[in-house]
Amino acid sequence: MKTLKQYFQEAVSGKWAIGHFNFSTADQLKAFVEAAAEVKSPIMVGTSEGEADFVGREQAVALVKSYQNEGYTVFLNADHHKSWETIKAAIDTGYDTVLIDASKLPFEENIELTKRVVEYAKSINPEILVEGELGYLRGSSEVQEKIEISQADYTKPEEAADFVARTGVDRLAVVFGNIHGIVTEQEEHLDIGHLKKIVQAVPETPLVLHGASGLPADEIKMAIQNGIANVHINTELRVAYHDTLHEELEKEPKETTPYKYLKPSYEEMKRMIKKYLELFGSVGKI
């Protein structure tokens, strides 16, 4: 299997993106990994701090390793880990890659913590990739009514260049109109002009689009054509998993066998992942 670093190099030069999908149950993970394999696409799967607490870090690593050992091209990311303690636990447990999200800290403190994580991760295993985050990404991975979008929250290109040079991160999460979650009383749009300015400032660094749920597909595509190499989706999957399961339980109220009542949600996850991987241009890239 190629390394995640190699896949990122190929994604940047080929103008496609690696999909990143969050999971908190083994059947979701199975659906993601199988869907990606069926269309010959590499895939990243992630656990946030909350998802990792629920699945168990050791268990998440063991599950993903079991797929890797069977030849699946899947990489495990510690998504939005915010403290030294939680990110160190992910690195020590064997995650393939981590996101140290210190974006709520003042700029210099973000650099300090991110640099510490990069140095620690590489000392444990030089193959571990570290993502940093810069800019204020509002919202959370759920259905919300409205989220304020302000250019003041965007990643500043000159800060991005300074941040990458001083921390040594392998990829950078950026803000250019994106928010976490879905909003019901507002439209989500990306500022591609701003993304281009960030790319000019850090042309060598793979850039990450978080919060892709709720964005128009053509804007995600345009972002990938203009330098985004990694796209994160969570809320749309959570909502579909929940709604499909809810419908199934209403339809078959007497069914108590989990592998039977979970099957429609699992199939819906597979269908959605294939649709995203097609959009991101990663189909056939294994």
- Is residue 181 a contact point for ligand G3H (CB under 6 A)? yes
Part of the chain binding Zn ion (CB under 5 A), chosen from 6-14, 148-156, 204-212, 249-257: 204-212
- Is residue 180 a contact point for ligand G3H (CB under 6 A)? yes
- Is residue 132 a contact point for ligand G3H (CB under 6 A)? no
Look up 79 and say whether it is catalytic.
yes
Binding mask 14-43 for ligand G3H (x = CB under 6 A): --------x---------------------
- Is residue 285 a contact point for Zn ion (CB under 5 A)? no
- Is residue 20 a contact point for Zn ion (CB under 5 A)? no
Closer residue to ligand G3H, CB minimum distance, 132 or 211: 211
**167 touches, from ligand G3H, Zn ion, none (C-beta below 5 to 8 Å by class):** none
- Is residue 210 a contact point for Zn ion (CB under 5 A)? yes
- Is residue 79 a contact point for ligand G3H (CB under 6 A)? yes
Radius of gyration over every alpha carbon of the chain, rounded to an integer in angstroms: 18
Q: Which two tokens stand for residue 86?
A: 């939680």
Q: How far is CA 156 from CA 75, 140, 220, in A?
A: 29, 22, 20
Using CB under 6 A as the binding rule, the residues of this chain from 190 to 219 that contact ligand G3H are 210-213
Residue type, 63: L
Residue type, 129: L
Beta bridge partners of 171: 131
Closer residue to ligand G3H, CB minimum distance, 163 or 276: 276
From 27, 53, 79, 218, active-site residue: 79
User: 233-265 in b/e burial notation, b at 16+ Cβ within 10 A?
Assistant: bbbbbbbebeebbeebeeeeeeeeeeeebbebb
Residues in the chain: 286
- Is residue 272 a contact point for ligand G3H (CB under 6 A)? no
Q: What span, in angstroms and rounded, lies between the C-alpha atoms of 132 and 170?
A: 8
- Is residue 156 a contact point for ligand G3H (CB under 6 A)? no
From first CA to last CA, the distance across the chain in angstroms is: 9
User: Nearest Cα to 226, choosing from 18, 7, 15?
Assistant: 15
**44 touches, from ligand G3H, Zn ion, none (C-beta below 5 to 8 Å by class):** none
Part of the chain binding ligand G3H (CB under 6 A), chosen from 62-70, 113-121, 229-237, 240-248: 229-237
User: Nearest Cα to 253, choosing from 245, 242, 241?
Assistant: 245
Please write down the HEC assignment for all residues of 174-196: ECCCCCCCEECCCCCCCCHHHHH
User: Nearest Cα to 229, choosing from 20, 15, 42, 32?
Assistant: 15
Q: What span, in angstroms and rounded, lies between the C-alpha atoms of 13 and 206?
A: 10
Using CB under 5 A as the binding rule, the residues of this chain from 218 to 247 that contact Zn ion are 232
Minimum Å distance from CB 250 to ligand G3H? 25
Minimum Å distance from CB 246 to ligand G3H? 19
Part of the chain binding Zn ion (CB under 5 A), chosen from 56-64, 186-194, 208-216, 267-275: 208-216
- Is residue 228 a contact point for ligand G3H (CB under 6 A)? no
Binding site for ligand G3H (CB under 6 A): 22, 79-80, 141, 180-181, 210-213, 232-235
Residues that bind Zn ion (CB under 5 A): 210, 232
Q: Which residues are catalytic?
A: 79
